[in-house]
Amino acid sequence: MSDDALPTRISAVVLGAGPGGLAAAAELGRVGVDAVVLDKADRVGASWAGHYDRLHLHTSRGLSGLPGYRIPRRYGRWVARDDVLRYLAEYAALHALDVRLGVTAESVERAEDGWRVTTDHGVIAADTVVVATGYNHTPRRPDLPGLDGYTGTVVHSSAYRNPAALGARTALVIGPGNSGAEIAADLADAGVRVSLAMRTPPNIVLRAVAGIPSQALILSMAPLPVPAQDALAGLLQKVAVGDLRKYGIPKAPRGIATQQLRDDVTPTIDVGLLHALKSGGVHVVAPVERFTTDAVVLADGTELRPDAVVLATGFRRGLESLVGDLGVLARSGRPLIDGPAQLAAHPGLYFLGYSNPLTGNLRQLGIDATRIAKRVAATTAATPS
């Protein structure tokens, strides 16, 4: 980390000091490309610091390290949130990355000789820009009738920390994805009576089957056609998870691979939800239809009055203000490209960490960071001086 003034020109600017940004800068440095990493936060990996206390990686330590430095064994098989933060700080220090914290990137624009990044600390010209601000960047608040007029306690999952901080005896969690499932289990373990509202049944898988991380099993299936992946994963679900209909969760409408491909939805990794369902700590309820001033009305007409509502309704990429004028975003707000891919109209602009793969986001970040660095090096070597 550096407190020096920002350079006015550098080979590469990396936006975001999370895992993707750090990996990109390290790999660029390895091929001889000078890079500066910008982040508005006051520490590397700041988004991890904001996650709930209970969080551990859902992917195994051995398949989650970044290029050039494996996650140390001392952090265990399933790395805790605070140890992820320690690892990222160690990674930045080991690679002597030029990380500038407290710097907000405001826009990325084409220039005659490359790119121009405007920040609240000045403008930087660069040949290459890597946008790695994170897949889960901006909390998504659902557009539910009456929500804005509801007088009860409502928090997004991004603001949830632990049961004590929430201070509720009863809670409604909206959304059965990974955050919603784990928060529901966390609350139930603390004795909170939890209702879990879901519209689409999730694909639930164990974090490990017979001691083998599910991530490794999914990796072994990756070369197969999508229908074959669905079939094999479905068989594993049937054996390891079982039929959850009696707990209010019917079979998911799509297989795991198809769901990810079509809906950009990864499976829900079980880290306590199944136990909470079977012990009665979590009850599945109908989807939320609307809010009144003091109640939550479900699609089946039931009215709930929980002490707190947790919106586990996901995130947006939040890239519109940064690159929205470049025509590089889909209607969903997701970049049109990811990893080493390039748009012909915008050479030198890369996006890292927006693929959300079944095989693990951190693993893919590392792979794509290396690919980006190799492409930048090859492009630099081919450009006449």
Sequence ranges of the domains in the chain: 9-137+317-382, 140-311
Question: What pLDDT does 345 receive?
Answer: 92
Query: Which of 278, 288, 252 lies closest to 267 in space, CA to CA?
Result: 252
Query: Which of 383, 385, 374, 373 lies closest to 14 in space, CA to CA?
Result: 373
**Other beta carbons within 10 Å of 335:** 23
Mean of the pLDDT values across residues 296-309?
A: 97
Q: How far is CA 112 from CA 73, 357, 385, in A?
A: 48, 35, 16
| Interatomic CA distance for residues 41 and 103, integer angstroms | 8
| Interatomic CA distance for residues 316 and 92, integer angstroms | 26
Question: What pLDDT does 64 receive?
Answer: 95
Query: Which of 368, 329, 334, 328 lies closest to 352 in space, CA to CA?
Result: 368
Question: What pLDDT does 384 receive?
Answer: 55
**Helix then strand then coil, % of the chain, to nearest 5:** 35, 25, 40
Is residue 138 very low, low, confident or very high in pLDDT (cuts 50, 70, 90)? confident
Q: Give buried/exposed letters for 280-319 (b at 16+ CB in 10 A, else e).
A: ebbebbbebbebeeebbbbeeeeebebebbbbbbbbbbeb
Does residue 1 register a pLDDT over 80?
Answer: no
Q: Is the pLDDT higher at 94 or at 360? A: 94
CA dihedral 101→325→139→131, nearest 10 degrees, is -40
Please report, as a single letter, which amino acid is at residue 320.
E
Sort 237 into a burial class: Cβ within 10 Å, 0-12 / 13-18 / 19+: buried
Does residue 184 register a pLDDT over 80?
Answer: yes
Q: How far is CA 29 from CA 14, 32, 89, 227, 310, in A?
A: 12, 5, 17, 41, 42
Does residue 2 register a pLDDT over 70?
Answer: no
CATH number of 9-137+317-382: 3.50.50.60
Question: What pLDDT does 382 receive?
Answer: 64
Question: What pLDDT does 3 receive?
Answer: 63
Question: What pLDDT does 249 receive?
Answer: 96
Q: How far is CA 309 from CA 42, 52, 107, 271, 299, in A?
A: 30, 16, 35, 21, 16
Question: Rounded mean pLDDT of the chain?
Answer: 94
Does residue 385 register a pLDDT over 70?
Answer: no
Is residue 162 very low, low, confident or very high in pLDDT (cuts 50, 70, 90)? very high
DSSP H helices, the chain, are 19-30, 46-49, 81-94, 163-166, 178-189, 214-221, 226-240, 256-263, 273-279, 320-323, 361-382
CATH number of 140-311: 3.50.50.60
- Asked if residue 115 lies in contact with residue 109, where contact means CB atoms within 8 angstroms, the answer is yes
| pTM score, whole prediction | 0.92
